[in-house]
Structure 1
């Protein structure tokens, strides 16, 4: 859904062994940095203290379908990761996590911890994101384009999201965050759609569940996330 409205390109500026610890990351984003995918990657960059140079691309004009971009990704899809001759599409957050700074995903031999993190990331992808992306699109993105919100779709989707959040509530009664008592990538993945939904009628679904409400309040207050949502900062750094 709107998560696809981001074009992110990371260019390699050093040898592989120095790649993520010393380079300045080159970012190719949308014509305006409101996309959920852009914000997720920005959040990781800020959590880890990595610098970046934003390059704004006008997706409304179809720049991602023009020869210049298609030479990088012939499918015209985003995001894109470049590492020398290697070109990948997918979750850039996982690549960035291996750099210096806070580790947001457990790569140790503690397989139970890693398994729990991966599980909640999968739950976000297959249970949480499909529903919240629809709600974000209908209530936040459509109005930006002058389109009418379909409240029938909103009501139907909210009913499904309530069941998912009931499961989250039970989990968060026992744990400070989803995967553990520390903030991880599993929590970060949820931030973009939650941020949008806090300005819609759907926010009541989060606020009506005490443990979910506490969790949401904590993760959206993280300094890195606030910087990721700072549109002025994006354009201030614009090339």
Structure 2
């Protein structure tokens, strides 16, 4: 049975899962969900995710939502194929992967997401971006990136000298951020810049990026 991923290729959360599936060399079907037509708020979709958000993964009798939970599931279930994203053979390294996936979720994404929403999503529906929100988020992001710059001074990637889910989870949001006028926040930090160039150059990342042309300005 081929996995079914309900979502939208331009969605950062969907892209996060798609990148993981490509890293694990897993065949899947992307089932488009028209957010503008509010298909995600219809009973059929709400039966899969009661919060009405993409993506949703259907696999072998189980239905999952929340992108980071899905990537953890995929990385564990398909541990024998593709790239080892969870460092399952090394307890300490696996623990650090979990720490830095939490950092992305709790520190990095909350600072990054409002910028992307304001700069890309609002104009698409004819709403003026709120620069106050952007500025506040940029200040938060600067502090997070300072921590990353220090962390990456001793490691090639966030959890160690190996690419993992901790890095992968950053790709979609950072991909869009680098198209904004504030990409210097990454480029002015040499270690963060090198890390970003490394993760964005991966074949899986490039494949995902092909579908991420939302809100080009």
Normalised TM-score (structure 2): 0.88
Among 96, 99, 107, the residue aligned to 1:119: 99
Where does 1:118-197 land on structure 2 (aligned, <5 Å)? 118-197=98-177
Tell me if 1:219 matches 2:195.
no
Alignment root-mean-square deviation, CA: 1.8
Distance 1:213 1:162, change over 3 A: same
Among 18, 31, 53, the residue aligned to 1:42: 18
Deviation at 1:45, TM superposition (A): 1.4
SS of residue in 2 equivalent to 1:174: coil
Among 52, 57, 61, the residue aligned to 1:76: 52
Tell me if 1:96 matches 2:74.
yes
Q: Distance in 1 between matches of 2:126 and 2:57?
A: 33
Q: Which runs of 4+ in 1 moved over 4 A?
A: none
Q: Distance in 1 between matches of 2:63 and 2:27?
A: 21
> Which runs of 5 or more structure 1 residues have no equivalent in the other structure?
1-12, 14-23, 233-239
Deviation at 1:74, TM superposition (A): 4.0
Asked whether the equivalents of residues 16 and 169 of structure 2 are also in contact (C-alpha less than 8 Å), the reply is: yes
> Which runs of 5 or more structure 2 residues have no equivalent in the other structure?
213-217
Q: Distance in 2 between matches of 1:111 and 1:133?
A: 31
Q: Distance in 2 between matches of 1:76 and 1:141?
A: 18
Asked whether the equivalents of residues 100 and 166 of structure 2 are also in contact (C-alpha less than 8 Å), the reply is: yes
Q: Distance in 1 between matches of 2:191 and 2:50?
A: 44
Deviation at 1:220, TM superposition (A): 1.0
Tell me if 1:26 matches 2:31.
no
SS of residue in 1 equivalent to 2:48: coil
SS of residue in 2 equivalent to 1:49: coil
Q: Distance in 2 between matches of 1:104 and 1:80?
A: 20
Q: Distance in 2 between matches of 1:127 and 1:73?
A: 25
